Amino acid sequence: MDYDADPNPFYLKGSRTGVLLLHGFTSTPQSIAYVGRAIHDATGATLSVPLLAGHGETPEALEQTGYKDWLASAEAALEMLLGDCDRIIVAGLSLGGTIALNLAIRFADQVDQVITINGSTGLYRPEQVAGLFCDKSNRFQRGIGSDICHPDRHEICYDKIPYATMRERFVLTCATGAMLPNLKQPILIFQSRTDHVVAPENGLRIMRDVGSSDVTLYWLENSFHVATLDYDRDLIVQKTSEFIGALTREI
């Protein structure tokens, strides 16, 4: 089966260590399936890759959702994973990384480690903010997906995005960024040096602002935003598997 072409959520049973892996804004589990399955194979961890509300359908369906719905999708997946696992790692790409940070802070007693891949923390240029809140003439904007350096890999994502939903994303990323000092767990940060969707400064902000004493940042030199489908995806698998292995050895 070509996992790079499958947009469906999936759950792989394994050990009592669980990994919740979250896809990005307007995307699907397809964007993280390769990395997720490779991490499961390398570590034996139980893996949950859910579909966030409003995703994998139509832009109009996404328009009917907001950040509370996306958080609820992730929280439901976390609750299910807790039923099978004693140790939990939350991880995510882009907005999925934002949600991983958010969950780790709000459910600190249930989450042991955090991993972000080009996660957004609310660093926007003034003109981006103005476009979100001042331009009322258009219902949709052009899609922002499939920012990939590799010429033969593509992300399944929406080709247009509701402005209302972009504003929901703005609220969630900014609120989560303000919460970073409350994150105390070990955290592994991946940040693409060249990212046309989320400014690379977000990775530096996470490293600087979290309250954890165990912080590692890896710069991805050969990938754009969707690094889990790009040239560095095997590096992400390797470093993530080592990170999870360190947790297992400590137990």
The confidence score (pLDDT) of residue 1 equals 42
pLDDT digits 0-9 by tens, 161-186: 999 999 999 999 999 999 999 999 99
What tokens does 32 get? 């993280």
CA 79 to each of CA 51, 67, 213: distance values in angstroms, whole numbers, following the listed order? 15, 18, 27
In 3D space, the residue among 191, 205, 69 whose CA is nearest the CA of residue 124 turns out to be 205
Give the model's pLDDT for residue 128.
75
Question: How many other CB atoms are found less than 10 A from the CB of residue 239?
Answer: 16
- CA separation for the pair 101, 113 (Å, rounded): 10
> Tell me, what's the pLDDT at 237?
98
Q: Which residues pair with 165 in a beta bridge?
A: none
Q: How many Å apart are CA 18 and CA 186, to the nearest integer? A: 15
Q: What is the pLDDT of residue 123?
A: 86
User: 55 pairs with which residues across the strands?
Assistant: none
pLDDT at 248: 60
In order of 29, 127, 187, 249, the CA distances from 26 in angstroms are 11, 22, 25, 36
H or E stretch including 90?
A: strand 87-93
**Active site residue ranges:** 94, 195, 225
Phi, psi of 60 (to 5 degrees): -65, -35
Low-confidence residues of the chain: pLDDT under 70:
1-5, 134-136, 247-251
Task: Please tell me the pTM assigned to this model.
Answer: 0.94
Domains of the chain, earliest start first:
8-250 (3.40.50.1820)
CA-nearest of 22, 26, 3, 8 to 145 is 26
pLDDT recorded at residue 106? 98
Backbone angles phi, psi at 92, to 5 degrees: -170, 160
Q: Are 65 and 57 in contact (CB under 8 A)?
A: no
Interatomic CA distance for residues 62 and 56, integer angstroms: 9
